[in-house]
Amino acid sequence: MRPKIYLFGDSITEESFDIGDGGAILAHHFSRSVCRYCIKGYSGYNTRWVLRGFGEDFPSTDETKEDPVAVTIFFGANDATLPDRYCLLERSNESAGAYAKACISVAEECEAPVSDLWSRMQLFPGWDGLHLTRIGNMTVFEELIEKLRQVGVSIETQPIDLPLLTGD
Protein backbone atom coordinates (compact mmCIF):
# COMPACT_ATOMS: atom_id res chain seq x y z
CA MET A 1 0.00 0.00 0.00
CA ARG A 2 1.13 3.52 -0.67
CA PRO A 3 1.87 5.73 2.30
CA LYS A 4 -0.95 8.02 3.36
CA ILE A 5 -1.10 11.56 4.75
CA TYR A 6 -4.22 12.79 6.55
CA LEU A 7 -5.03 16.51 6.43
CA PHE A 8 -7.62 17.37 9.07
CA GLY A 9 -8.82 20.87 9.84
CA ASP A 10 -11.17 23.76 9.28
CA SER A 11 -11.75 25.88 6.17
CA ILE A 12 -8.02 26.38 5.63
CA THR A 13 -7.72 22.62 5.12
CA GLU A 14 -10.96 22.40 3.14
CA GLU A 15 -9.70 24.99 0.67
CA SER A 16 -6.04 23.90 0.72
CA PHE A 17 -6.14 22.26 -2.70
CA ASP A 18 -6.89 25.45 -4.59
CA ILE A 19 -4.08 26.39 -6.97
CA GLY A 20 -1.09 27.62 -4.97
CA ASP A 21 -2.51 26.69 -1.57
CA GLY A 22 -0.80 24.52 1.04
CA GLY A 23 -2.43 21.16 0.24
CA ALA A 24 -1.77 21.55 -3.48
CA ILE A 25 1.87 22.47 -2.82
CA LEU A 26 2.23 19.45 -0.50
CA ALA A 27 0.67 17.08 -3.06
CA HIS A 28 3.03 18.39 -5.74
CA HIS A 29 6.03 18.02 -3.41
CA PHE A 30 5.28 14.34 -2.75
CA SER A 31 3.79 13.66 -6.20
CA ARG A 32 6.09 10.74 -7.00
CA SER A 33 5.84 9.11 -3.59
CA VAL A 34 3.13 9.77 -1.01
CA CYS A 35 0.16 10.01 -3.29
CA ARG A 36 -2.69 8.96 -1.07
CA TYR A 37 -4.23 11.84 0.81
CA CYS A 38 -7.26 11.88 3.04
CA ILE A 39 -8.49 15.47 3.22
CA LYS A 40 -11.12 16.35 5.79
CA GLY A 41 -11.72 20.08 6.00
CA TYR A 42 -14.73 21.52 7.78
CA SER A 43 -15.36 25.19 7.08
CA GLY A 44 -16.80 27.00 10.10
CA TYR A 45 -16.24 24.12 12.52
CA ASN A 46 -14.38 24.44 15.78
CA THR A 47 -12.54 21.65 17.55
CA ARG A 48 -15.43 20.65 19.84
CA TRP A 49 -17.86 20.25 16.97
CA VAL A 50 -15.59 18.24 14.73
CA LEU A 51 -14.43 15.84 17.45
CA ARG A 52 -17.94 14.40 17.58
CA GLY A 53 -17.38 12.83 14.16
CA PHE A 54 -13.61 12.27 14.34
CA GLY A 55 -13.77 8.47 14.55
CA GLU A 56 -15.88 8.30 11.42
CA ASP A 57 -13.35 10.26 9.37
CA PHE A 58 -10.28 8.22 10.10
CA PRO A 59 -10.23 4.43 10.19
CA SER A 60 -8.28 2.82 12.98
CA THR A 61 -4.94 1.15 12.28
CA ASP A 62 -6.58 -2.21 12.95
CA GLU A 63 -8.99 -1.64 10.04
CA THR A 64 -6.40 -0.45 7.51
CA LYS A 65 -3.39 -2.50 8.67
CA GLU A 66 -1.23 0.58 8.18
CA ASP A 67 -0.42 3.81 9.95
CA PRO A 68 -0.39 7.07 8.00
CA VAL A 69 3.06 8.60 7.62
CA ALA A 70 1.66 11.92 8.84
CA VAL A 71 -1.48 13.56 10.16
CA THR A 72 -1.93 17.33 10.19
CA ILE A 73 -4.43 18.92 12.52
CA PHE A 74 -5.19 22.47 11.50
CA PHE A 75 -7.91 23.85 13.74
CA GLY A 76 -8.01 26.95 15.84
CA ALA A 77 -9.38 29.84 13.81
CA ASN A 78 -12.93 29.06 14.91
CA ASP A 79 -11.80 28.21 18.44
CA ALA A 80 -9.97 31.48 19.02
CA THR A 81 -13.01 33.69 19.29
CA LEU A 82 -13.39 35.97 22.26
CA PRO A 83 -14.87 34.25 25.34
CA ASP A 84 -18.55 33.28 25.04
CA ARG A 85 -18.72 34.33 21.38
CA TYR A 86 -18.77 32.51 18.07
CA CYS A 87 -18.48 35.08 15.30
CA LEU A 88 -14.98 35.30 13.85
CA LEU A 89 -15.41 39.06 13.61
CA GLU A 90 -15.35 38.99 17.41
CA ARG A 91 -11.93 37.43 17.42
CA SER A 92 -8.61 39.18 17.80
CA ASN A 93 -5.10 38.34 16.72
CA GLU A 94 -4.25 38.42 20.43
CA SER A 95 -6.88 35.76 21.23
CA ALA A 96 -5.62 33.67 18.31
CA GLY A 97 -2.10 33.92 19.75
CA ALA A 98 -3.26 32.82 23.19
CA TYR A 99 -5.08 29.89 21.62
CA ALA A 100 -1.99 28.97 19.57
CA LYS A 101 0.17 28.97 22.70
CA ALA A 102 -2.31 26.70 24.49
CA CYS A 103 -2.30 24.28 21.51
CA ILE A 104 1.50 24.20 21.48
CA SER A 105 1.52 23.46 25.20
CA VAL A 106 -0.90 20.54 24.76
CA ALA A 107 1.09 19.14 21.82
CA GLU A 108 4.32 19.32 23.82
CA GLU A 109 2.64 17.65 26.79
CA CYS A 110 1.52 14.84 24.45
CA GLU A 111 5.00 14.73 22.88
CA ALA A 112 3.47 15.39 19.45
CA PRO A 113 5.37 17.36 16.82
CA VAL A 114 4.01 20.89 16.54
CA SER A 115 4.80 24.06 14.60
CA ASP A 116 4.17 27.55 15.93
CA LEU A 117 2.62 28.98 12.77
CA TRP A 118 0.99 31.87 14.59
CA SER A 119 4.37 33.30 15.69
CA ARG A 120 5.87 32.77 12.25
CA MET A 121 2.95 34.53 10.58
CA GLN A 122 3.47 37.58 12.81
CA LEU A 123 6.52 38.33 10.65
CA PHE A 124 4.17 39.33 7.82
CA PRO A 125 2.82 42.89 8.19
CA GLY A 126 -0.92 43.16 7.76
CA TRP A 127 -1.68 39.50 8.45
CA ASP A 128 -5.15 39.32 9.99
CA GLY A 129 -4.44 36.21 12.07
CA LEU A 130 -6.76 34.05 9.98
CA HIS A 131 -6.58 34.11 6.19
CA LEU A 132 -3.57 32.87 4.27
CA THR A 133 -2.16 34.57 1.19
CA ARG A 134 0.05 32.73 -1.32
CA ILE A 135 3.04 33.69 0.85
CA GLY A 136 1.20 32.45 3.93
CA ASN A 137 0.43 29.12 2.23
CA MET A 138 4.08 28.75 1.24
CA THR A 139 5.06 29.50 4.84
CA VAL A 140 2.71 26.78 6.11
CA PHE A 141 4.13 24.36 3.52
CA GLU A 142 7.73 25.16 4.52
CA GLU A 143 6.93 24.66 8.21
CA LEU A 144 5.13 21.38 7.48
CA ILE A 145 7.90 19.98 5.28
CA GLU A 146 10.50 20.86 7.92
CA LYS A 147 8.43 19.23 10.68
CA LEU A 148 7.86 16.12 8.52
CA ARG A 149 11.59 15.93 7.77
CA GLN A 150 12.34 16.11 11.52
CA VAL A 151 10.20 13.00 12.10
CA GLY A 152 11.64 11.09 9.13
CA VAL A 153 9.08 11.83 6.41
CA SER A 154 10.65 13.28 3.29
CA ILE A 155 10.84 12.62 -0.42
CA GLU A 156 14.00 10.63 0.20
CA THR A 157 12.39 8.32 2.78
CA GLN A 158 9.20 7.50 0.87
CA PRO A 159 8.83 4.86 -1.84
CA ILE A 160 8.52 6.11 -5.40
CA ASP A 161 6.19 4.78 -8.09
CA LEU A 162 8.57 4.73 -11.03
CA PRO A 163 12.06 6.10 -11.58
CA LEU A 164 12.33 9.65 -12.90
CA LEU A 165 12.95 9.66 -16.64
CA THR A 166 14.79 12.68 -17.92
CA GLY A 167 14.40 11.79 -21.59
CA ASP A 168 17.10 11.63 -24.21
Q: Which of 11, 95, 115, 154 is catalytic?
A: 11
> Does residue 128 carry a catalytic annotation?
yes
> Does residue 79 carry a catalytic annotation?
no
Angstrom distance (rounded) from CA 4 to CA 1 = 9
Q: Which of 28, 43, 57, 131 is catalytic?
A: 131
pLDDT in tens, 2-38: 788 889 888 888 888 888 888 889 888 888 776 678 8
Other C-beta atoms lying within 10 Å of the C-beta of residue 42: 18
Q: Quick check: 59 pLDDT over 60?
A: no
> Does residue 131 carry a catalytic annotation?
yes
What angle is formed at CA 22 by the lines to CA 15 and CA 161, rounded to 5 degrees?
A: 110
Mean pLDDT for the stretch of residues 70-95: 73
Angstrom distance (rounded) from CA 102 to CA 130 = 17
Q: Which of 18, 57, 67, 128 is catalytic?
A: 128
pLDDT in tens, 30-58: 887 766 788 888 888 888 788 777 666 56
pTM of the full structure: 0.77
What CATH number belongs to 4-157?
3.40.50.1110
